[in-house]
Amino acid sequence: MKITDIKEGEYAPYQINYLNLVSDEWTLIEELEVSLANFIHFVRDIPMDKYEYRYAEGKWDIKDIIQHVIDTERIFAYRALRIARGDKTPLPGFEENDYAISANAGRRHLQELLTELSLVRQSSIFLFKSLTQDDLLKTGTASGYTVSVRALGFILIGHQNHHVKIFKERYL
């Protein structure tokens, strides 16, 4: 399954911005693997003096964003799991700024964050590998919108790619 298989109605309208950042070259599992390797390589090439840089007052630094990517991936994978298992409970949104404040990413070492991201991604990969085609097509409600399990997999990739784009535009 590739990003081109995702249809309108399988994601919230604003999530098209994330989906548009996913390559149509790879399957979902391949893209989960490739995008992780690309992200880690990209982050390791960022100059050390940029890790605590904030482009404006109140904005996150690079460590905060990496922690945000980790937290968001966990949430999207959890949503995918619940929907894939047939849970029809509407899933709430989350306040990303509250998460960022509570996470205290600045006290962590960069390598620790990248290792955690890698482990979380490995967990996501195993989750999506374990799902059947029928599971991937299941839909549920998250943040007030219908979303499919397969779309959630691509959305978490696109979300990560969105932040790489932000790094390039505003931090480097």
Q: Over the stretch 63-79, which tens digit does the pLDDT of each residue have?
A: 999 999 999 999 999 99
- Answer whether CATH 1.10.3720.10 is correct for domain 16-171: no
Q: What is the mean pLDDT of the chain?
A: 97
Find the farthest-apart pair of alpha carbons in the chain and give their distance in angstroms, rounded. 47
Q: What is the pLDDT of residue 18?
A: 98
Q: What is the pLDDT of residue 110?
A: 95
In the three-class reduction of DSSP (H, G, I as helix; E, B as strand; rest coil), residue 27 is classed as strand
Q: Over the stretch 126-145, which tens digit does the pLDDT of each residue have?
A: 999 999 999 999 999 999 99
**Over residues 74-103, mean pLDDT:** 96
Q: Residue 164 to residues 25, 50, 103, 127: CA-CA distances in angstroms?
A: 19, 14, 20, 24
Q: What is the pLDDT of residue 69?
A: 98
**Over residues 71-88, mean pLDDT:** 98
Per-residue confidence band for 147, with pLDDT thresholds at 50, 70 and 90: very high
Q: What is the pLDDT of residue 165?
A: 97
Q: Over the stretch 21-53, which tens digit does the pLDDT of each residue have?
A: 999 999 999 999 999 999 999 999 999 889 889
Residue owning tokens 């904030």: 54
Q: What is the pLDDT of residue 43?
A: 96
Instruction: Give yes or no for a contact between 2 and 18, defined as CB atoms under 8 angstroms apart.
Output: no
23-59 per-residue burial string, b: 16 or more CB within 10 A, e: under 16: eeebebeebbeebbeebbeebeeeeeeebeeeeeeee
Instruction: Give yes or no for a contact between 99 and 68, defined as CB atoms under 8 angstroms apart.
Output: yes
* pTM greater than 0.85: yes
Per-residue confidence band for 15, with pLDDT thresholds at 50, 70 and 90: very high
